[in-house]
Structures are given as structure tokens and as C-alpha cells.
Structure 1
């Protein structure tokens, strides 16, 4: 029987038996794949996992690879099936979970982030405001000081009563306005009026004394005439003590009242050297504050001859408008006399023309109550002596003899 060939029926039955296990295995695999697809479809529709889909098996991974391989990667017009829609929704949900959304309070409104203001900026604005206020207050105080001394009225008085000295008036007013603008200073103001006799220096000193007595009271103004307060036959030591006491008392009282005292010294060319040294000691910078807040007016004829010569030689020159050379000439003469004028502001007084002398006669006649007759004024002005240069006449004695000439017009009783 071993060597006999099998019959056709036996061989067919053997082939069937050999094909059954693979066929059964394929059927089982197909059923499992179908069940997996159903479970996934149920998961997408209901959102819950089925009991048999907790762990993906190798067959499931193989089937997913097959589906991804079999799916076309190009655009087609086929309508997606229900399974494809579920898979695409699942992929979208996974992508959305990767990006974390910005969460806001449920009951609040959405606002832009607030810019926090710096406190340092507020302090800076406050500091700038304080500085501006202080500057404005300082400017107002400067104006108040100038108004307190009524310098505008003083300037008008000078222009009305002092003739032929416009340059001197402008310089004196500029010095006073600058110094009296504030009460605190680092040095006293020293003004020296120099020029020939009779040109208006002493008259200017009287105008200053009268004006400041009316605005700062008599206690803060001192008129010191050397021939009267310290004559040649008096004791110099006594003069020094009296002068020291007067200056100390005035500056102390002025410091309490916050006012600036005015000291007017006339006839300085007659003051003894020791008394000049005493007065010079008050011009130093290393003093207490009350001695630094003071004005000293020094009136003298020192340098008058040099001024006359220079004026007559340069009468047609433009240097008269800005007399810098004249200032140098006067300062050299003052330096030879004493060093007290080293710190002084020099104000030169020039010669007076004949028209200025006529104005002096007119002013004096009005003061004495005479009728201002022009013919009489010309006659009186012609009685004085003049320097005649280039058809111009300059008085030799200035207005010195005007008062004496007018007094002769009074009838004898």
C-alpha cells in the first residue's frame, strides 16, 4: 500500500485539510479588523472607549499602516466616509491640545496691560515746578527791590537838574539798578565822581542824598563833608572814631531793616591819609555781611585838570561818547593820591558848554522867583569865562558862579 499512488479523491481531501487553517486564520483576522473599526467608530461618536480597545495590538497597528498606505495622497473628488471624518476630527483634537489657550477669569473683562507710572517721573516734575516757582519769585523780588528805591524817579530828577552829564547819569543809574536789585552782595558798591570844579558832582551828591532820604529814611543816608566834619585843625584820631561809629551804627541798623545805607563823601581831595585808610578798611571783602551791603559815593576834583586837557584836545573825537581813555587818565591820577580808588567805579564828569550854563541860570532864576527872561539869561551867561575851540565855548568854572550871579539880582533892602 506504501508504493501505491493516492487516489484523486484522497489527494483532494488532503488539499482541503491543508487549506483550512490559513483560511480560518484569515477569517479571524478579518473579523478582528472589522470589530476594531466598529469600536473606533463608536469611540468617535460616543467619546467613550470600548472594553476591547484598551491596548492596540500588533494587528491594529498593521491595519492602521495599511490604511495609511492605501489612502491616496493626492486630491480627489470622492466624498469622505464616516470613518474618515471621525479620524480627521480626532487628529484635529490632538493638534488643538498641543497649544495652550490663554485663560481669562470667567466673570471679568479683558483689558490691555496697564502701564505703571514711575514715581521718579512725578518727583522730577515736582522738582522742575519748584525750581520754576523759585526763579519767578526771585525775578519778582528783583522788581520789588528796584521799585522800593524808586530809581526811575531818581533818573528823571537827574536828567532834569543835572545839565551836560548824560554819560555820567547813565553810568550811575546802571550801577545803582544793578546793585539795588537784591539785598545780598559779596562786596560794597564804591562809585567815584571825578572831574573839574563846577560841572555838577556835588549837585549830583545832593540829589542822591535827598532822594534816598525820602525812600529809605534819614537814618540810612550819610552826607560827609570833609571840611565840615573833619576840618584841618581837628584831631584826626577823633575824626576816625566818629567816622567808624557812624558807619557801624548805620550798617547795623540797615541790616536789621533789610535796607542798603548810602554814604556820600564830598571833598575827598581834602581828606587826610589816615582817614582815607580808615574808610578803605570798609571796602574789603573779608567782612561781615552787613558791611558788604552798602553804597559809598566818593566826590572829588582829583584828575580835573587832566580831564580838562584831554577834553579840549579831543573835543571833535568820537571818544567822548565812550570815554575809555578818559577813565584811564582819571584812574592814574587817583592811584597816585591814594589806593582807596582801586576798587571804585570811576564816573568822569566833563566840561559844560555855554548852553548848559544858560540852563543852570534858568533853573536858578526859577528857584529864586525871577522871571525867566531869555535876554537876561544870555547876559548873565556871557559874564562867565569860556574855552573857545572850533566855534564851541566851554565854561572854565562851570555852574559854580551861577548862584552868586543870581543873588546879585536881589534888590537891596
Structure 2
């Protein structure tokens, strides 16, 4: 009888142990699923949300806003794109290239630019030493490949693209191609953004020509005076730019070369008002006018276009507040 009781107790203990093991496995699996879910912060894409975000927060760039909205919306709603989305932003300092990249990121990912899937490379910061180009190229290839293999909808932002060495640009090239599949990984759903000052003088020149002829800046579009073609030609012929020595341009791997026009005083004024909101300062239109007028403009006599765009607005505003 005692032996029977012993066997029953042993079976009960065994069952409890088995259940405990099963529970541990289940919890571990659930935790893994939760981790994956947490890591996948992709937003359900909404083209109307992107359009509204660009309209409200992307000041004075009607061409860039229009092209970005259409290009990103088309790409994000395509279930089977035949290549990654590759956009190249061009314009002088302070015209909003970085800001546009942030707007795209926050319409693709829940955490926006802070998402683990958004990878920013700044040429002179991340690749400062020419003697290490071979090492940089290998690391860059590895990071892009690993990122997309883990998460196909990864985003890569390359700032100061005009200062990037040709060898590094060519390291990116295989991932941009049509039907790109590198070592068994498809890159069709990845997004590549190139930010550059290259072509800025061409864009400024076209804008000035329109102004001198009395034509509103808002009447400039991508096909105005073959603007996009002029940008690509300028980039291709610029001997100090890594772009000119890379095969990315002549193999047509960039989907759109997007011009960022120089900003006018009215746009700078809007930037001041936005900065006031960010700094939680009561909006003051007279103060906004003061700050906007204190910024440098060109041509020198007419003071039409902002030399630095909306850069240094916070610093200038702080002087007036203090």
C-alpha cells in the first residue's frame, strides 16, 4: 500500500515538473514573440497622414513635398516593389533636407527617426579617414545586409553624400539595383535617402532667374528649365564630389533627384513661429518678424532668399528672448 502511495506521489511530482517545464517554455516563447513585436515598430502606412504632415510641418518646399508624398506613398503601398526606394535630396544648407528625412521616418515607424530600423551615416563623422576606406566599405556592407535581413523595411540615411568617397558609394550600389538580392537577402522594401549640398548652386540659380523675371517661386516645378536634369548633370560633372566617380548616377539607380529651393523671409518667419511652439513660448508675430528680418539674405541689396534657411533659428530667437 505504501508502495502504491509512493508511485502516486512520484507521478504527481513528475506531472508538476513537466507542467513547470512546459510553462517555462511557453513564457519564453511568448516573451520572444513580444520582443519581436516590440522590435517591429512599423506603422500601418497612411498616405493621407504623410500628406498632412508634409503640409503642416514642411515649410516652403512645394516641389520636395509633392515628390516625396507621391514617391513614398507609391512605394509603401506596392506589395512587390522591383527595387528599393532611393531618393536624393539636393539644396543649400538649411533648406530642410534633414527635416524631410525625419518626416518620412515618423510616417513609416512608430518611433520615427529613433527607430532601430533607421540608420544614419554622416560622411565626415562615420568615415573620416581615407586610409580606412576598405574597412569602412566592409563594415557598411555588413551593417546594411544584416539590418535588411533582420527587417526588410529598413531605412538608411546618408548625410553629406557629396563628401562621401566613391569607394563607399560603390559599396552601397549592389543594394540599390533592380531586383537586388544580395547573398539571399532581398532589398526591395528598403529605403535609401541621400542628403547633399551638391546641385545647390544650380537650384539657387534657377530660383533667382525666376525671381528676376517676376515669376513666383511657387511656379517652379521639377520640369522647370529641366531642373532635375541640371541637378544630375551638375552632380556628375562636379569633380570634388564622390557622386561623380560612382556608377550610381549613370546606371540610373536613384529614383528621384529632389530640389530643395532657397527659402524666402516668409518661410523663415514660419520657422520662427514653429520654434516658439517647440520652446513653449507664447507665439508673438512681431517677435517672429524681428527674428526673421535679422537673418542674412541674398542678393545683398534685395534680401530675398535666406542664406542659411531655417538653420540657427533657435539660437537667434534665444537672443531676443533673453
Corresponding residue of 1:229:
126
Map residues 43-82 of structure 1 onto 2, 5 A cutoff. none
| CA displacement 1:48-102 (0-9 Å, x = unmatched) | xxxxxxxxxxxxxxxxxxxxxxxxxxxxxxxxxxxxxxxxxxxxxxxxxxxxxxx
Corresponding residue of 1:164:
60
**Of 243, 253, 262, which residue of structure 2 is paired with 1:343?**
253
Deviation at 1:188, TM superposition (A): 1.6
Corresponding residue of 1:323:
223
| 1:396 paired to 2:310 | no
| CA displacement 1:6-55 (0-9 Å, x = unmatched) | xxxxxxxxxxxxxxxxxxxxxxxxxxxxxxxxxxxxxxxxxxxxxxxxxx
Q: Give the TM-score of the pair, scaled to structure 2.
A: 0.73
* Cα pair distance change 1:147/1:282, threshold 3 Å: closer
Match of 2:180, SS state, is coil
**Alpha carbons 1:209, 1:223 under 8 Å: kept:** no
| 1:253 paired to 2:150 | yes
**Alpha carbons 2:43, 2:107 under 8 Å: kept:** no
Corresponding residue of 2:155:
262
Could you tell me how far apart the structure 2 residues matched to 1:367 and 1:273 are? 39
Corresponding residue of 1:194:
90
Corresponding residue of 2:195:
299
Which consecutive unaligned segments of at least 5 residues does structure 1 have?
1-145
| 1:181 paired to 2:77 | yes
**Alpha carbons 1:201, 1:299 under 8 Å: kept:** yes
**Of 217, 228, 233, which residue of structure 2 is paired with 1:332?**
233
Match of 2:204, SS state, is helix
Corresponding residue of 1:352:
263
Deviation at 1:295, TM superposition (A): 1.5
Deviation at 1:358, TM superposition (A): 0.1
Could you tell me how far apart the structure 2 residues matched to 1:384 and 1:305 are? 20
Could you tell me how far apart the structure 2 residues matched to 1:382 and 1:272 are? 38
Match of 1:407, SS state, is helix
* Cα pair distance change 1:213/1:184, threshold 3 Å: same
**Alpha carbons 1:226, 1:271 under 8 Å: kept:** yes
Structure 1 residue runs of 4 or more that deviate by more than 6 Å after TM superposition: 389-392
The one of the two structures with greater contact order (alpha-carbon pairs below 8 A, sep at least 6) is 2
Which consecutive unaligned segments of at least 5 residues does structure 2 have?
1-41, 238-243
Could you tell me how far apart the structure 2 residues matched to 1:215 and 1:384 are? 33
**Alpha carbons 1:219, 1:250 under 8 Å: kept:** no
Could you tell me how far apart the structure 2 residues matched to 1:353 and 1:294 are? 34
Map residues 356-375 of structure 1 onto 2, 5 A cutoff. 356-375=267-286
The structure in which a higher percent of residues are helix is 1
Aligned length: 262
Deviation at 1:191, TM superposition (A): 0.7
Deviation at 1:164, TM superposition (A): 0.5
Q: Give the TM-score of the pair, scaled to structure 1.
A: 0.58
Q: Which has the larger radius of gyration?
A: 1
* Cα pair distance change 1:233/1:278, threshold 3 Å: closer
| 1:218 paired to 2:218 | no
Match of 1:298, SS state, is strand
Could you tell me how far apart the structure 1 residues matched to 2:180 and 2:227 are? 32
Could you tell me how far apart the structure 1 residues matched to 2:168 and 2:130 are? 14
Quote the RMSD (CA, aligned, Å).
2.6
